[in-house]
Amino acid sequence: MLKRRPLGDHGLEVSEIGFGAWAFGGEWGEQSDKDSVGALHAALDAGVNLIDTAPGYGDGRSERVIAQVLASRTDHPLVATKTPPAPGPWPPSPYCRWQDRYSAAYLRENVQQRLQQLGTERIDLLQLHTWTRAWNEDPQPLLVLRRMKEEGKIRLVGVSAPEQDPNSVIPLMQTGLVDVVQVVFNLFQQEPAAELFAAAEESGTGVIVRVALDEGALTGKYKADHQFAETDFRRAYFAGDRMERTVKRVQAIADDVARFGLTERYHLADVALKFALSPSAVSSVVVGMRNVQQVSQNIATSSLPDLPEALLQVLQRHNWHRGVWYAGK
């Protein structure tokens, strides 16, 4: 049975395993729409009720596939999409002005595009795709989104926290400007545990975790010499010696799990997802699922017992400060 958790204090419950639809756009290697449609139907049939996407995933392709699937169904999962900043540094630099990246006119035009792509009159969750603490003193973009919420075009307002500075969104949570935050949290990147999760519980903010499997590395299926296809963004993410370094650290995690005698019951992917779900502040962990088999594997994790507290304590030692890998080597 796929468990559900509250999405902050907004009166909604979401499946603790959510559907990450980045791969639908083709940036994870070749992806057929047939496989995408089959995977999403299988996930929804299994009880998944949170789908995360963005216009940058295949120039709207991911959103269009989702709209196609939902048009053929009677259930109504919560669909979270994003508005990227206007062209400029990613993540935004400390010198970027919100007026240049998230102007009111730009936001309104982009939200209208999201409505059209998803074939809906209201976006369930609209997230700014990135942020910088440079805008915290004058967070006008979020005020624009909240006005659009009052107008009925958006149900919930969110922000996807920059991976190099997740705590930058804490003031936005404390002042009630955002309903939901999305953060990177996994066995390697544990910074949200320092402050963000406590702030979320105190403010009633929903928390969506992304990259729980570290772009697939924490499944343990890759060897040190693995090479990704030219069309797969992970070719840059794991450039140079990064995969070799990562595999060594994944093996250390596997050794810890083995010492607790859990290898037979938990795959490494299960351990990674259970770790990401362990903070009580986490509402859902969105996982990329490209086919029906991956859906079955990830959904099954929800029915496993939680990891022993003693193991969770041991796994904290794998926290790894490694900078922003998304920019490439």
CA dihedral 222, 223, 225, 230 (to 10 degrees): -10
Q: How far is CA 125 from CA 94, 251, 284, in A?
A: 26, 37, 14
Question: Which region among 25-39, 105-119, 193-207 has the lowest average model confidence (pLDDT)?
Answer: 25-39
Q: 13 forms bridges with which residues in the sheet?
A: 6
Which of 240, 186, 251, 177 is closest to 215 using CA atoms? 186
Share of the chain above pLDDT 70, in %: 100
Mean pLDDT value across residues 123-134: 97
**pLDDT band at 61; cut points 50, 70, 90:** very high
Question: Which region among 4-13, 115-124, 147-156, 316-325 has the lowest average model confidence (pLDDT)?
Answer: 316-325
191, pLDDT greater than 80: yes
CB 277 within 8 A of CB 192: no
pLDDT score recorded for residue 29: 80
pLDDT score recorded for residue 54: 97
184-217: b or e for each residue (b if 16 or more CB lie within 10 Å)?
Answer: bbbbbbbbbeeebbebbeebebbbbbbbbbbbbb
pLDDT score recorded for residue 56: 94
Express each pLDDT in 225-265 by its tens digit.
999 988 888 998 999 999 999 999 999 999 999 999 999 99
- Ranges of H-type helices in the chain: 33-45, 61-71, 98-101, 104-118, 140-150, 170-174, 196-203, 234-237, 242-259, 268-277, 292-301, 309-315
Residue 128 token pair: 């700014």
Count CA within 13 A, CB hemisphere, residue 169: 35
The reply to whether the predicted model has a pTM over 0.75 is yes
pLDDT score recorded for residue 327: 74
pLDDT score recorded for residue 126: 98
pLDDT score recorded for residue 27: 83
| Between 27 and 224, the higher pLDDT residue | 224
Tell me 103's DSSP state. -
* CA–CA gap between residue 297 and residue 289 (Å, rounded): 9
pLDDT score recorded for residue 26: 83
Dihedral (CA of 233, 236, 239, 243) sign: negative
101, pLDDT greater than 90: yes
Dihedral (CA of 140, 174, 129, 238) sign: positive
Catalytic annotation, residues: 57
CB 160 within 8 A of CB 127: yes
Please name the residues in contact with 212: beta carbons below 8 A apart, sequence gap of 6 or more. Answer: 185, 186, 218, 272, 273, 275, 276, 285, 286, 287
323, pLDDT greater than 80: no
